[in-house]
């Protein structure tokens, strides 16, 4: 996925949508409590726990 206009990183959802296309989402929408990927992979509790830990650590 291309970088967003504001410079933030974008990621492709692991599963395609109903038109068989892979949706790109902004990094700030990962683990935000709202489903953005077709199979809700962006809100998977196991992945979010890792993502939030890495995000917090990289800010220090």
Give the tens place of pLDDT for each residue, 33-55.
Answer: 999 999 999 999 988 887 665 56
Q: What is the pLDDT of residues 2-11, one digit of tens each?
A: 988 888 889 8
The stretch 21-43 carries a mean pLDDT of: 93
pTM above 0.85, yes or no: no
Tokens matching residue 23:
């949706």
Neighbours of 59 (CB within 10 A): 6
Predicted pLDDT at 52:
62
User: DSSP letter at 42?
Assistant: G
């Amino acid at each position: 996925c291309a970088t967003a206009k504001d410079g933030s990183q974008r990621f492709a959802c692991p599963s395609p949508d109903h038109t068989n296309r892979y949706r790109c989402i902004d990094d700030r929408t990962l683990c935000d409590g709202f489903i953005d990927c077709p199979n809700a992979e962006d809100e998977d509790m196991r992945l979010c726990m890792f993502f939030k830990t890495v995000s917090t650590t990289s800010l220090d």
